[in-house]
Structure 1
């Protein structure tokens, strides 16, 4: 998959905006929304997908509606920041479905992960049984989201 920056024209950006708002749009509905006929619209979507601009299409599930009530941000500091320690942590964190996002950070901690779990016992189990056994982990600090003020998945395309 190609992920380098590429030049997108106004029509490509309109297609991306429409699909970010509703990825379930049929090709006919999308074509109508962006003022194209269906065949060239489909060709553009295929090209955007093949070039890696569109990575995949998903359905967003409401976490609360499936019993995932805690949204936790965890800062993790490693004992050493060697390539091996970083690679080991990144490999091991991939195995956990409750980890929604993981970022290598600058500043006071090495990683920031966002975890969703149903309750405190599940969080405790994750921290004690999954994070603390990682030998390179030195410090774990958790912050709980009290309320989600803003959440979006659509990227701002005005700079594309």
Structure 2
């Protein structure tokens, strides 16, 4: 497998793993019609090549929120006053390091960043916003949107037409 090329079996393996990474090697091999040793070798090569970033468990947000009180999801637009590389990097590093920030995207045009923030409640969100936005003199504008319903959430990529 070339570093930048994926064949049909690679795509089948990636598609199967992104839907259920808990499959045993034997079950995965059976699903894509290759031998278990071939499957193991290919998956290792995909991981070593960076195609598989990591394998995780996706938790049920509704059940977790009900149990732990993580009931507030916010999508937050952040615009900085100065957009020099060092200013963008500094804010990004602070946002990425904060445990309540689930996702951090640099975007263009419009705001400089889009964050997905998970908080227990509004007082917790206030503490997060003070740590990330109010204490930074370079943050010009923050616009938060609070989720009322998550209609879809997926981590999968469409690999087949």
Please report the TM-score for the alignment, with normalisation by the length of structure 1.
Answer: 0.92
More off after superposition, 64-73 vs 104-113: 64-73
SS of residue paired to 1:66: helix
Q: Which one of 44, 50, 53 corresponds to residue 52 of structure 1?
A: 50
CA distance in 2, matches of 1:91, 1:130: 11
How many Å apart are 1:71 and its aligned residue?
1.3
Residue matched to 1:153:
155
Matched, 1:29 2:31: no
How many Å apart are 1:73 and its aligned residue?
0.3
Residue matched to 2:134:
132
**CA-to-partner distance for each residue in 1:54-95, whole Å, 9 max, x for gaps?**
111000012232222211000001011011111110111122
Residues 53-132 of structure 1 aligned to structure 2 (within 5 Å):
53-67=51-65, 68-132=70-134
Residue matched to 1:11:
9
How many Å apart are 1:108 and its aligned residue?
2.2
Please report the TM-score for the alignment, with normalisation by the length of structure 2.
Answer: 0.91
Root mean square deviation of aligned Cα: 1.5
More off after superposition, 107-116 vs 36-45: 107-116
CA distance in 2, matches of 1:90, 1:143: 20
CA distance in 2, matches of 1:95, 1:58: 19
**Contact residue 104 and residue 114 of structure 2 kept, 8 A:** yes
CA distance in 2, matches of 1:34, 1:135: 54
CA distance in 1, matches of 2:5, 2:131: 46
CA distance in 2, matches of 1:63, 1:151: 10
CA distance in 2, matches of 1:145, 1:6: 38
CA distance in 2, matches of 1:129, 1:110: 18
SS of residue paired to 1:157: coil
